[in-house]
Amino acid sequence: MKRVLVTGSSTGLGLMVARLLIEEGHHVVMHDRDQALADEAAAAAPGAAGVLVADFSKLSAISALADDVNKLGRFDAIVHNAGIGDKEARRIETEDGVPHVFSINTLAPYVLTALIDRPERLVYLGSGLHHGASPNFDDLLWTKRTWNPETAYAESKLHCVTLALAVARRWPNVKSNAVWPGWVPTRLGGPYAPDDINQAHLTQAWLATSDDPLAQSSGAYFFHKKYFVPNPAAQDQSVQDKLVEICARLSGIQFLA
């Protein structure tokens, strides 16, 4: 039995991952952004060991969640599933002065990775859209460019894949990977997404718990339990280091080697 934390797990792929892991006999702690969603998660996955609450648009809440997780004891795996999509028509700035999508999709997994006691495995959720994105470190926070929600989302998913590979390089004793679940008909993906929803959660659960040698890889990007080639930028060590540096500066939280 593995102890697994799944973020953003009241609906969609996060809930599917949590349910599958519970069915397999694992100790699963779920998370969502408010108490109402946490209650929904508990009702939808009655075998869960608990549901934690944190709004990832607030750095203080992300840090507090890390403290709550550490109080529960060391986890074997963390699935960084929480995220928002490409529907924000305007740049929404959080109380910490960063775009909403950047806080939730990029800073939250960075801060949780830096602050939570190191698990054996980390799984980050990417997207096929990350292949068309660039790091754009000269305007990461969209203060110069005209806001484009699709591009902002794609960049945030590039950040997730880059972070996964950066962690794998910096922490050789942790198995850190990223997953493309496919474009599937969830609330985020929309009702007309063409890929198979029944396959979309399997790789995350497999990477978090399986003894399959392939599932114990590190520094890889997966699609349906197979290696998939990520955006070359994510594999660039200078890009990895720059992303970590920027996230450390914006969050005030250092990522220790």
Strand 175-179 relative to strand 220-223: parallel, antiparallel, unpaired? parallel
Note the pLDDT tens digit of each residue in 118-128: 999 999 999 99
* Whether pLDDT at 196 is above 80: no
Place of tokens 């973020």: 7
Return the amino acid letter for 41: A
Q: Strand 27-32 relative to strand 3-6: parallel, antiparallel, unpaired?
A: parallel
The first and second tokens of residue 146, run together, are 């005209």
Catalytic residue IDs:
153, 157
Alpha helix ranges (H) inside the chain: 12-23, 35-44, 59-71, 100-102, 108-115, 149-170, 202-209, 232-235, 237-251
Residue 112 pLDDT > 80: yes
The CATH number of the domain covering residues in 3-251: 3.40.50.720
The residues that bridge with 177 in the sheet, in sequence order, are: 123, 220
Paired tokens of 31: 């998370």
Place of tokens 């679940």: 181
Which tokens in the block code for residue 109? 């997994």
Q: Are 234 and 131 in contact (CB under 8 A)?
A: no
Q: Residue type for 139, please?
A: D
How many Å apart are CA 20 and CA 26, to the nearest integer? 9
Sign of CA dihedral 185, 55, 106, 4: negative
Whether the Cβ atoms of residue 133 and residue 154 lie closer than 8 Å to each other: yes
Residues in the chain: 257
- 127 burial (CB, 10 Å; 0-12 / 13-18 / 19+) is buried
- Token pair, residue 242, equals 């720059």
Share of the chain above pLDDT 70, in %: 96
- Answer yes or no: is pLDDT of 96 > 70: yes
pLDDT band at residue 117, thresholds of 50, 70 and 90? very high
* pLDDT for the residue numbered 193: 63
List pLDDT tens digits, range 158-182. Answer: 999 999 999 999 999 999 999 999 8
Domain layout of the chain by residue ranges: 3-251
Cα 75 from Cα 122, distance rounded (Å): 10
Average pLDDT of the residues of the chain:
95
| β partners of residue 222 | 179, 227
* pLDDT(209) > 70: yes
In terms of pLDDT, which residue wins out, 198 or 75? 75
More confident residue, 198 or 172: 172
CA angle 30, 234, 191 (to 5 degrees): 50
